[in-house]
């Protein structure tokens, strides 16, 4: 085939078309990176200033228990002969709940009584001897006066009378000793009867019939009896950082795992001064009285306690995140980095620490710049006005960890319904974990600056 004049012309047309398409593609790519021909404004996370209530709370963990819990033990050693109550049994004060085999103690009592009888007989014999010795002394006294007997005979009779009276005193002391032995034997015999010390309920039983209990060193625990379970308490461990805000007489509430979603109320009865230290953490026991009229709560349940420290209604409030937001400073580099041109590094005086309320990068409305490098009063908020962030300084009050009360506006203006900045979407995009950042030409940027990652 013979080439014609149209062949070179067609090649040039194809080359020009390919070039135009390439230029158009590069232009579209560049336009996409720039986000359009106009300047791309900053994008923020925001929230509204509103009015409402704020409640400050302190949380702690504790356990439920009866107000009165008594451990019943055995004061004598012996074999358990009878058990009259079991778990959960209601008991009255003085009620017989168990018996220890009493044969040994009955024999000891009989022996003590026999010793008492023998001691009384010895006393009577000593008294009789003392009376005879006294009479003998009186007769010899008359004979000595008449010089019918010698003085030595009288002295011997006098000594015998004194000795007889001493034997009487010793016999009386022996009687007292044997009486004490009888009382001790009677008491030990009484200890074989285990009685309930209070009105309440048997919480636990640690013995069985036929078991031998030894009380030589300490009283073994036989039963645990709690008082009326309609009146219970929670002993919560409050951290030392929060104990200063917990006061007696204030209300508290708690939840237990047995009744999820249900909250029980109580009253703070006592804040104990004795500290408890575990793994370097200091806590103080706080006792909360609980009405358990329905007997739904049981001793030993774990309670998650909430103390209402302070509560305020109808106050101006902002999210806590708005107080933590720090606008970027002029001169911060791409990708959220802080080049801080013309100033000190972040974290140094004049640079502003990361995470602290921003003192630069936004306009201060209605206030003056701090003089002599002094730190401004109050805390800073960034308020969106006409699409631009404006710094407002406020004095804060009560906080619940999510919302904070605004007590006073120190610089600028802040009203209900205003929009405050809580975060920067640009900063989040740059720190979202992308592996590469594509640089863009210098141009208008929002807070945070930097290129767009993809």
**Run means of pLDDT, 10 residues per run, the chain, 454 residues:** 54 72 67 50 84 93 95 94 95 96 95 94 90 84 79 84 90 93 95 95 94 85 92 96 93 96 95 94 96 94 94 93 83 42 34 37 42 68 90 93 92 92 71 39 36 35
For residues 172 and 245, membership in a common domain is answered with no
Would you state the pLDDT for residue 358?
Answer: 39
For residues 145 and 239, membership in a common domain is answered with no
How far lies 168's CA from each of 119, 127, 296, 354, in Å? 11, 5, 69, 98
**Range(s) of the domain holding residue 380:** 44-53+318-342+352-369+376-453
**Strands, sheet with 193-195, edge to edge from the N-terminal-most edge strand:** 193-195, 96-100, 78-83, 212-213
For residues 48 and 90, membership in a common domain is answered with no
Q: How far apart are CA 237 and CA 59, in angstroms?
A: 9
Tokens 């009276």 belong to 165
For residues 323 and 414, membership in a common domain is answered with yes
How far lies 341's CA from each of 48, 142, 302, 352, 407, in Å? 33, 134, 56, 13, 36
Q: How far apart are CA 77 and CA 82, in angstroms?
A: 15
For residues 134 and 83, membership in a common domain is answered with no
Would you state the pLDDT for residue 218?
Answer: 77
How many domains are contained in the chain? 4
Q: State the first-to-last Cα distance of the chain, in angstroms, to the nearest integer.
A: 53
116 found inside a domain: yes
Element (H, E) at 409: strand 403-411
18 found inside a domain: no
Q: Which residues contact 59 (CB under 8 A, 6 or more apart)?
A: 304, 305, 306, 307
Write down the H helix ranges in 35-87.
none
Would you state the pLDDT for residue 137?
Answer: 82
33 found inside a domain: no
Q: Which residues contact 66 (CB under 8 A, 6 or more apart)?
A: 200, 203, 226, 227, 228, 229, 231, 232, 233, 299
Would you state the pLDDT for residue 34?
Answer: 52
Q: How far apart are CA 349 and CA 428, in angstroms?
A: 26
How far lies 303's CA from each of 59, 255, 297, 386, 426, in Å? 11, 6, 10, 50, 44
Please give the model's pTM, rounded to 2 decimal places: 0.62
For residues 219 and 232, membership in a common domain is answered with no
39 found inside a domain: no
For residues 427 and 441, membership in a common domain is answered with yes
Contact present, 350 and 340 (Cβ < 8 Å):
no
For residues 114 and 136, membership in a common domain is answered with yes
């Amino acid at each position: 085939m013979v080439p014609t004049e149209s062949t070179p012309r067609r090649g040039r047309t194809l080359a020009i078309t390919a070039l135009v398409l390439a230029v158009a593609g590069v232009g579209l790519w560049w336009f996409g990176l720039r986000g359009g021909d106009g300047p791309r404004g900053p994008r923020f996370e925001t929230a509204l200033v509103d009015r409402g209530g704020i409640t400050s709370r302190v949380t702690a963990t504790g356990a439920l228990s009866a107000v009165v819990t008594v451990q019943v033990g055995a004061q004598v050693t012996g074999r358990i002969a009878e058990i009259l109550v079991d778990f959960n049994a209601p008991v009255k004060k003085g009620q017989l709940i168990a018996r220890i085999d009493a044969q040994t103690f009955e024999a000891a009592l009989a022996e003590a009584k026999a010793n008492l009888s023998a001691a009384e007989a010895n006393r009577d014999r000593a008294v009789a001897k003392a009376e005879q010795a006294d009479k003998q002394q009186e007769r010899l006294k008359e004979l000595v006066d008449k010089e019918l007997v010698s003085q030595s005979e009288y002295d011997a009779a006098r000594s015998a009378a004194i000795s007889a009276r001493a034997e009487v005193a010793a016999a009386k002391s022996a009687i007292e000793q044997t009486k004490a032995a009888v009382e001790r034997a009677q008491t030990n015999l009484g200890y074989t009867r285990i009685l309930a010390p209070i009105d309440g309920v048997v919480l636990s039983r640690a013995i069985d019939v036929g078991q031998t209990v030894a009380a030589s060193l300490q009283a073994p625990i036989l039963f645990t009896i709690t008082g009326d379970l309609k009146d219970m308490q929670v002993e919560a461990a409050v951290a030392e950082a929060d104990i200063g805000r917990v006061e007696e007489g204030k209300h508290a509430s708690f939840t237990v795992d047995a009744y999820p979603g249900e909250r029980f109320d109580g009253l703070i009865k006592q804040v104990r001064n004795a500290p408890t230290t575990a793994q370097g953490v200091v806590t103080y026991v706080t006792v909360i009285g609980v009405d358990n009229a329905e007997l739904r709560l049981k001793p030993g349940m774990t309670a998650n306690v909430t103390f209402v420290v302070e509560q305020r209604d109808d106050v101006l409030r902002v999210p806590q995140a708005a107080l933590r937001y720090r606008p970027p400073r002029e001169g911060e580099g791409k990708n959220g980095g802080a080049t801080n041109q013309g100033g000190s590094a972040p974290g140094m005086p004049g640079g502003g620490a990361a995470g602290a309320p921003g003192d630069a990068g936004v306009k201060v409305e209605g206030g003056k710049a701090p003089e002599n490098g002094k730190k401004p009063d109050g805390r800073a908020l960034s308020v969106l006005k006409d699409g631009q962030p404006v710094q407002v300084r406020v004095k804060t009050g009560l906080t619940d960890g999510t919302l904070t009360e605004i007590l006073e506006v120190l610089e600028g203006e802040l009203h209900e319904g205003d929009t405050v900045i809580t975060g920067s979407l640009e900063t989040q995009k740059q720190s979202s974990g992308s592996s590469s950042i594509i640089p863009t030409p210098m141009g208008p940027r929002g807070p945070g600056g930097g290129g767009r990652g993809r």
